[in-house]
Amino acid sequence: MAFHLGLLRRTGNDTLVDIISDLRAQTRQFGLRELIAAGTLPDNAREHMTIVDHIADRDPEAVRSLLTRHIRHAMGVWAGHEEPEGTDDGI
């Protein structure tokens, strides 16, 4: 949660940060138990560090591509579903 809110804070939109923070506090993340049991949670969490690296490298295409994949994971395997189909141009 800290990672995601930290990225949002960089937008300078405090209202958005507050709204997302409230929404996340009211929901739970799905699929974490399964990721822990499968031993894949650390690899998935490392995507955050790679996103930060791409931001530091000022590589917007790499950031966009990885964020798209990261969101697909959240909607797919992390939620116990098949990965959504699509290209890097949209989710």
2-47 per-position pLDDT tens digit: 888 999 999 999 999 999 999 887 776 666 777 788 887 887 788 8
Query: pTM of the entire structure?
Result: 0.68
Q: What is the pLDDT of residue 2?
A: 87
In a domain, 57, yes or no: yes
How many separate domains does the chain show?
1
In a domain, 72, yes or no: yes
Where are the alpha helices (H) located in the chain, listed in sequence order? 2-9, 14-26, 32-38, 41-56, 60-75
**Domain span at 29:** 2-79
Which CB contacts under 8 angstroms, 24+ apart, belong to 50-55? 51/7
In a domain, 89, yes or no: no
In a domain, 85, yes or no: no
